[in-house]
Amino acid sequence: MRGAALVLAALVALAGCTEPPRGAAPATIVFKHAKILGPLDPIPGLLREFERRNPGVTVRSEPLTWTSDEQHQFYVINLDGATPAFDVLLLDLIWVPEFAQAGWLLDLSPWVTRGELAPHFPAAAAASVWNGRVWGLPWNMNVGVLYYRADLLAKYHLAPPRTWEELVEQAQRIRAGERDPKLDGVLWQGKQYEGLVVNVLEHFWASGTALLDEHDRVLPEPERAAAALGFMRGLLESGVSPAWVTAGDEELTRRPFGDGRAVFLRSWPYAMDLFEAAGSPVRGRVGIAPLPGHVAGAAGVGATGGFHLAVNRRTRHAEAAVALVRFLAGAEGQRAITAAGVALYPTRVDLYRDPAAVAAHPHMPRFHALALVARPRPVTPYYLMLSTTVQPEFSAALVGVKTPAQAVSYARRRLEYMLSGLR
Amino acid sequence: MTARERADRLAGLAFVSPALLALAALTVYPGLWVLWLSLQQRVPIFGIARFVGLEHYAFLAGDARFWNAGRVTLVFTAVSVGLELALGLAVALALQRQRAGRRLALSLLLLAWALPSVVTAKLFEWLYHPSAGLVNVILGGHAFNWLGDPRLALPGLIAADVWRTMPFVALLCYARLLTIAPEVYEAARVDGAGRGATLAYVTLPLLRPILLIALLFRTLDALRAFDLMFVLTGGGPASTTETLTVYAYRSLFQTLQLGFGAAVGCVIFALVMLVAWAYLRALRGEAATA
C-alpha cells in the first residue's frame, strides 16, 4: 500500500505536477514554525492560499518561541517521542542532517527531485541533502556580509577592503582622520554562542582551512586555525574592534553601526532593511561588500544560515504535508517573503532579480552575488556537538585566557573524544 | 504501642499516601531513571544505546570544563547568597524603621522579585552595555566590558542575581520583624541595651530561623542557576560563567548526549542534596534549641 503510494507519488513528481491528488480525504495538517519577527508575517496569507488550491486540506499554524535553543528542544523532545501532533516543521538548516540521521524526518526524495533544488542557491540546497537523500526544502536564507560606511570610505578615497589586513589599515586611517573616540573600526559577533562559531568559520575559510574537512577530520590544520583565531584576538588588542565585541551578538553589534558608530560591521542581510529604514542615522550611507579574505589565505566567503521546511516522519497526511512544503518553498511561497515589511530573504535565485522584490528591497541584487558563493557550515548530524564544544575554546582565545594554539589543541582533543563515542 | 496508636498511625499513613505516591511518581521514578541513564552511552540520533557503567563519571573526573563549571557554580552561590542575605537583612531593618513610603518601597522590592528572570536578564544586557549602558554611565563613563571580560562577567551576573533575589530575603525578614512584639524591645531598652546591643542580642537571634530558611532556599536556587547566564553570556566569555546546569543543558538538549548529560545532572543532584541535608540538620538543631 505504502509502496504503491510512493510509486504514485514518484509518477506525479515525474510528471512535474506540484498538486496533490484531487479528491483526497479531508485533512488538517499542523505547521510548526518559529514566530516570524518584523512588521509583516507572510505565513497566514500563504496558508490560506494553499487551502484555496487544495480543497479539503486545512492548515493550522502553530508558532514556537523565537529563540533557536527552545525550538530545538521542542522538536527534539516531540520528535523523539514520535508525536504525530505536527506534520510540517520549519527548522534551522544546521538541524537538518541531525534530525534526518535520527530518523525523525520524512525522506522527501520520492517527491522532490534534485532538479527541484536547482532554483535555490547552492549553499541552501546543499543543506537540504544528507546521505544522498533530500530531507527538506530551503525557505529563507542568510549570508554573512560586510557592511561598510560608504560615505566614510569615499571621503578617504578607499574601495571596500578585499582582505582583513586591508580592512584594519582602512579602519585605522579613518579613525585617525575622524578623531572621533566614539567611532569603532569593525564590529562582529564574539559572544560565546553559535554566532561566534560562524564568525570564526568565516576567518578559517578566508585562511584556507576548515573546522571539519571532507574526510571528517576536525581542525585538520591546527596552525592555520590558530593563526585565524590569533588574527581575531589581534583585532581586539589593537582596538580596531572594541573589547565588548567579546560579548556581542547580532543586535548588540547591529545597533552601534546603525547609530553611525562603526566603520565596518559583519552581519546578515536583515540589518540592511533596518539601516535603510526611515529615520535611520546611516540611511543611504551603507555599502555591502563580500567578507574580506586573508592576505596569505583565500578569498572571503560568507557563511549561510536560514530555515528549511521538512515533514515529520510520523505524519498521517504525508501527501498534503509534502504539498505544503513544496508550495511554501516554491516560487510563489518565497515571493511572499520578499514583500515590503518582511525582513526575510528567499533562497530562490531568480527572486533577487524580480522587479517587485527589488522594489521592496532595493539592495537585493547586491546580496545575489554574495549568496551565490556563500558556504554552509559543516553539513553533519553532529554539527551542534562540534559547535558547543568549540565555543568556549574560541571564546577563551578571543579574551586571552588561552593562547590560540592552546584553544585549538584542546578543542581538537575534546572533539576527538566526543566523536569517538559516535563513530 | 496500643491498638489505638497503631490505628492512628495507619490512618496517618493512609492520609499521606496519595501525596507520597504522587511524589514518588513525579520525582523518585524520573530520578532513578536519570541515574540509570547516566550509566549508559545514549545518543538517540545515532541510535546509540549501550551500558558504559561509570565511564561518564570517570571522564568528568578529568574534564577541565566540568571542574570549571563546578567552581563557577560554587563561587556564584557563595558570593550571591552571602550578599543577598546581608543586603536583604539591611533592607528589612531599614523598612522596619521607615515611616513614610513603606508601601511604595515594598512594591518596588516586589517588582524586582516578580519580574521573569529572562526579562531581568534582558534588562541587564542593556544596563551593562559598554558604551550605552546605565551602569558605566553611573560609574563615570568608564568603558567596562561587563559581560565580555573574563574577570568582570561573573561579578556582573552576581550583581544581577543579587538585584533580583535580595527582595525575597528582605521580605521574609521584614515579615518576621513585624511579628516581634514591641514589649521585647521595651524590655531591652529598660535593661539599658543600646541600638547595637538590641540588634545583636534581640533582633538577630529572633531572625535566625527565618534567615536559615532564606539561606536554604537561596542556596538551592543558586546552585541550580541557569537563566541569567544562559541569556546574558551563554556561559562565556571562555566559560567563566558556565555553571553546572548550563553545562548539563548543553550536553543534554543541544548535543543530545543523553547519558553524558544525565551524569552531569546526577552530580548537580548530589551536590544539591548534600547542601540541603546539611541545612536541614542545622535547622533541626535550631528547632531543638528553640
CB contact under 8 A, A192 and B233: yes
Question: How distant is the Cα of A6 from the closest Cα of chain B, in angstroms?
Answer: 25
- What is the crossing angle of helices B153-178 and B64-97, to 10°? 40
Q: Is A395 on the interface with B (CB under 8 A)?
A: yes
Q: How many CB pairs under 8 A join A and B?
A: 123
Q: Which chain A residues contact residue B153 at CB under 8 A?
A: 247
Residue type at position A348: R
* B28 CB-near residues (< 8 Å, 6+ apart): none
Tell me how far apart the alpha carbons of residues B11 and B147 are, in angstroms, rounded to a whole number.
Answer: 57
Q: Is B29 on the interface with A (CB under 8 A)?
A: no
Per-chain mean pLDDT for chain B: 91
CB contact under 8 A, A244 and B145: yes
Q: Indicate which of A70, A388, A423 best probes the interface with B, i.e. most B CBs within 10 Å of its own CB.
A: A388
Tell me how far apart the alpha carbons of residues A391 and B72 are, in angstroms, rounded to a whole number.
Answer: 17
C-alpha cell at A391: 565555543
A-chain residue closest to B248, CA distance: A388
Tell me how far apart the alpha carbons of residues A275 and B106 are, in angstroms, rounded to a whole number.
Answer: 43
Q: Indicate which of B45, B249, B254 best probes the interface with A, i.e. most A CBs within 10 Å of its own CB.
A: B45
Name the residue among B45, B238, B250 with its Cβ closest to that of A395: B238
Residue range A145-302+382-420, CATH number = 3.40.190.10
Helix (H) or strand (E) holding B16, with range, is helix B3-23
Tell me how far apart the alpha carbons of residues B57 and A108 are, in angstroms, rounded to a whole number.
Answer: 41
CB contact under 8 A, A242 and B130: yes
Residue range A2-142+305-372, CATH number = 3.40.190.10
pLDDT at res. A24: 52
What is the maximal distance between C-alpha atoms in chain A? 75
Q: Is B155 on the interface with A (CB under 8 A)?
A: no
Q: Using CB atoms and an 8 Å cut-off, which of residues 68-97 of chain A contact chain B?
A: 69, 72-73, 76, 80
Question: How distant is the Cα of A392 from the closest Cα of chain B, in angstroms?
Answer: 5
A351-407 pLDDT per residue, tens: 999 999 999 999 999 999 999 999 999 999 989 989 999 999 999 999 999 999 999
CB B55 within 8 A of CB B49: no
C-alpha cell at A160: 571596500
Return the domain boundaries, chain B: 1-26, 64-289
CB contact under 8 A, B240 and A401: yes
Kindly indicate the confidence band of residue B219, based on its pLDDT and cuts at 50, 70 and 90. very high
Does the pLDDT at position A14 exceed 60? no
Name the residue among B47, B239, B255 with its Cβ closest to that of A392: B239
pLDDT at res. A423: 66
Pairing of strands A262-267, A142-143: unpaired
Task: Tell me what ipTM this predicted complex has.
Answer: 0.83
A324 exposure class (CB count in 10 Å sphere: 0-12, 13-18, 19+): buried
Q: Cβ of A10: how many Cβ atoms within 10 Å?
A: 14
Instruction: With CA atoms as reference, report the closest residue to A163 among A312, A293, A18.
Output: A293
CA atoms within 13 A on the CB side of B25: 6
Which of B253 and B36 is assigned the larger pLDDT? B36
Instruction: With CA atoms as reference, report the closest residue to A176 among A156, A154, A199.
Output: A156
Does the pLDDT at position A11 exceed 60? no
Tell me how far apart the alpha carbons of residues A188 and A248 are, in angstroms, rounded to a whole number.
Answer: 7
B100-148 pLDDT per residue, tens: 888 899 999 999 889 988 899 989 988 998 877 899 989 887 888 999 9
A-chain residue closest to B257, CA distance: A385
Tell me how far apart the alpha carbons of residues A337 and A353 are, in angstroms, rounded to a whole number.
Answer: 14
Identify the weakest region by mean pLDDT among A4-8, A92-96, A171-175, B183-187. A4-8
Question: How distant is the Cα of A244 from the closest Cα of chain B, in angstroms?
Answer: 5
CB contact under 8 A, B253 and A417: no
CB contact under 8 A, A192 and B234: yes
Pairing of strands A27-34, A88-92: parallel
Same fold for the pair A2-142+305-372 and A145-302+382-420: yes
Tell me how far apart the alpha carbons of residues A216 and A56 are, in angstroms, rounded to a whole number.
Answer: 47
CB A272 within 8 A of CB A278: no
Query: Which listed CATH number (1.10.3720.10, 3.90.470.10, 2.40.30.20, 3.40.50.2300) goes with B64-289?
Result: 1.10.3720.10
Q: Is B147 on the interface with A (CB under 8 A)?
A: yes
Per-chain mean pLDDT for chain A: 91
Q: Indicate which of A395, A419, A420 best probes the interface with B, i.e. most B CBs within 10 Å of its own CB.
A: A395
CB contact under 8 A, A244 and B143: yes
B-chain residue closest to A183, CA distance: B131
CB B65 within 8 A of CB A392: yes
C-alpha cell at B233: 553570556
Q: Is A340 on the interface with B (CB under 8 A)?
A: no
pLDDT at res. A226: 97
* B106 CB-near residues (< 8 Å, 6+ apart): B95, B171, B174
A83-134 pLDDT per residue, tens: 999 999 999 999 999 999 999 999 999 999 888 999 999 999 999 999 999 9
Return the domain boundaries, chain A: 2-142+305-372, 145-302+382-420
Beta bridge partners of A105: A312
A-chain residue closest to B69, CA distance: A392
B-chain residue closest to A70, CA distance: B253
